């Protein structure tokens, strides 16, 4: 596991259970993880292993029942309301289904988090332009989501996630709804966001091609636990074996 000093995210012995009709179900079970600043970090595992839940523990979309979540050296479960607002500003998130506001233009979608955080009109206009340029969609500012392709929608979602200048971008299966070519264009944008802006990327995926194209480090989850963690440059063979085991493409 990485040196605690250069970790931007540290999960220590976190568990999370959900109430189900059949009783309590432990989706994340005593999991620990350290992610270095500036990393591109993949979380893989079989369906239902707890990957999305683990990701959502980082920005407290899910609160852990037990264990610690540290982001940028702060214990986030102990944050005040104002502290939590700051945390959310410093962590962007994108999803498989894009989650765009359908009745708002591309520009208004990207502006949304800035409005929540009280930016001025001029600041919003400048930042929306910058973020749309980062994802190569300057010419789509006035379009509505329904007029865009899947890849373009995901790029708008990335622009929106970047609006508040986060240091971390959480990605929950961001390319699972996309064809291979569009997937590549979205991965190129994510790579650029990592390399040019220095944003730490944490990505849940069931596609080994995504891991190979983007991730420097990977954690494997099984039954709510992190069972393995390795760097992708040192582990081509391991990656192939794990891909087979998980039935990943």
Kindly list the residues in this chain that would bind ligand ATP in the complex (CB under 6 A): 18, 20, 25, 27, 45, 47-53, 206
- Closest approach, Cβ 148 to ligand ATP, in A, equals 24
- The DSSP symbol for 39 reads -
How far, in Å, are 162, 233, 246 from residue 205 at the CA level?
20, 18, 12
Closer CB to ligand ATP, 49 or 239, in the complex: 49
Q: How many CB atoms are located within 10 Å of the residue 59 CB? A: 21
Closer CB to ligand ATP, 18 or 133, in the complex: 18
Q: What is the DSSP string of 56-112?
A: HHHTTSS--SEEEEEETTEEGGG--HHHHHHHHHHEEEEETT----TTS-HHHHHHH
Closer CB to ligand ATP, 54 or 124, in the complex: 54
- Closest approach, Cβ 45 to ligand ATP, in A, equals 6
Closer CB to ligand ATP, 48 or 198, in the complex: 48
- Closest approach, Cβ 159 to ligand ATP, in A, equals 25
- Closest approach, Cβ 11 to ligand ATP, in A, equals 14
- Closest approach, Cβ 20 to ligand ATP, in A, equals 5
Closer CB to ligand ATP, 41 or 131, in the complex: 41
Q: Please report the sign of the dihedral spanned by the C-alpha atoms of residue 14, residue 232, residue 134, residue 200.
A: positive
Exposed, middle or buried: residue 169 (CB in 10 Å: 0-12, 13-18, 19+)?
buried
């Amino acid at each position: 596991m990485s040196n605690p000093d250069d970790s931007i995210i540290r999960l220590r012995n976190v568990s999370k259970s959900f109430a189900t009709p059949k009783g309590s179900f432990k989706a994340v079970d005593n999991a620990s993880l350290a992610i270095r600043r500036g990393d591109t970090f993949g979380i893989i595992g079989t369906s239902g292993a707890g990957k999305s839940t683990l990701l959502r523990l980082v920005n407290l979309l899910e609160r852990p029942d037990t264990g610690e979540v540290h982001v940028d050296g702060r214990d986030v479960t102990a944050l005040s309301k104002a502290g939590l607002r700051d945390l959310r500003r410093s962590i962007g998130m994108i999803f498989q289904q894009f989650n765009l506001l359908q009745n708002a233009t591309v520009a208004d979608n990207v502006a949304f988090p800035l409005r929540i955080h009280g930016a001025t009109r001029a600041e919003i206009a400048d930042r929306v332009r910058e973020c749309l340029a980062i994802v190569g969609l300057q010419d789509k500012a006035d379009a509505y989501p329904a007029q865009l392709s899947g890849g373009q929608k995901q790029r708008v979602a990335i622009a929106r996630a970047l609006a508040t200048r986060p240091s971390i971008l959480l990605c929950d299966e961001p390319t699972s709804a996309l064809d291979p070519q569009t997937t590549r264009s979205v991965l190129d944008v994510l790579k650029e966001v990592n390399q040019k802006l220095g944003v730490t990327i944490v990505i849940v995926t069931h596609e080994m091609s995504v891991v190979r194209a983007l991730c420097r480090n990977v954690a494997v989850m099984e039954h709510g636990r992190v069972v393995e963690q390795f760097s992708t440059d040192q582990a081509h063979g391991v990656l192939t074996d794990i891909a087979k085991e998980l039935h990943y493409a």
